[in-house]
């Protein structure tokens, strides 16, 4: 289940996760996590081929949906631990609302809470969620073909960039 919200993030109800993603979609709460290593490189994950939408594409370190009533930062830390196998320290990086049409009649209509953090531990990705992790520099990210990335990545990344700490100024 996902928490349905209005354009201000106020809860309006609940829906089954898949139903909220079938076009035309329903606006619901989500989160996106961006992680950086000690060298200032961004962690990207390749979504597992078994994902119900957007399989096999690169995206930010972790994204998902809070449980009903769960604080977004708690959900983001929980899902990062479940997907990547370590506990991140996360800082809020704002919110963004978007509506994207995906393949096969799927859609993303999300009120997305953004978080940034450091990765200072080894990853142990859950293969049901993540098929690959890689660290990239700003130049390496810019060199990726747009279709190699999830459709929501440019939207959430652009919204999060302004909240990066000073030591990640190369990413702004």
63 flagged as catalytic: yes
Alpha helices in the chain (DSSP H): 17-21, 72-84, 138-143, 153-161
Q: Which of 3, 62, 63, 108 is catalytic?
A: 63
Task: Tell me which residue of 66, 50, 59 sits closest to 17, measured CA to CA.
Answer: 66
State residue 120 phi and psi, 5-degree precision. Answer: -130, 25
Task: Work out the end-to-end distance of the chain between its first and last CA atoms, rounded to an integer number of angstroms.
Answer: 35
Task: Tell me which residue of 3, 63, 67 sits closest to 34, measured CA to CA.
Answer: 63
Distance CA 7, CA 143 (A): 34
Q: Which of 110, 123, 129, 140 is catalytic?
A: 110
Task: Tell me which residue of 59, 23, 47, 25 sits closest to 126, measured CA to CA.
Answer: 47
Please answer whether residues 156 and 32 qualify as being in contact, where contact means their C-beta atoms are separated by less than 8 angstroms: yes
Residues belonging to the active site: 63, 110
């Amino acid at each position: 289940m996902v928490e349905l919200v209005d354009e201000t993030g106020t809860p309006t109800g609940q829906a089954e996760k898949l139903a909220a993603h079938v076009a035309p979609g329903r606006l619901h709460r989500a989160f996106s996590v961006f992680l950086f290593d000690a060298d200032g490189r961004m962690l990207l994950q390749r979504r597992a081929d078994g994902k119900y939408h957007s399989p096999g594409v690169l995206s930010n370190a972790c994204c998902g949906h809070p449980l009903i009533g769960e604080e977004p930062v708690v959900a983001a830390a929980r899902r990062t631990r479940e997907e990547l196998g370590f506990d991140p320290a996360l800082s809020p990086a704002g919110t963004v609302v978007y509506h994207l049409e995906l393949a096969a009649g799927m859609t993303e209509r999300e009120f997305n809470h953004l978080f940034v953090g450091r990765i200072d531990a080894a990853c142990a990705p859950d293969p049901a969620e993540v098929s690959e992790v890689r660290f990239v520099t700003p130049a390496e990210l810019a060199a990726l073909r747009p279709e190699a990335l999830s459709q929501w990545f440019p939207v959430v990344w652009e919204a999060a960039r302004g909240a990066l700490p000073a030591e990640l100024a190369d990413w702004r």
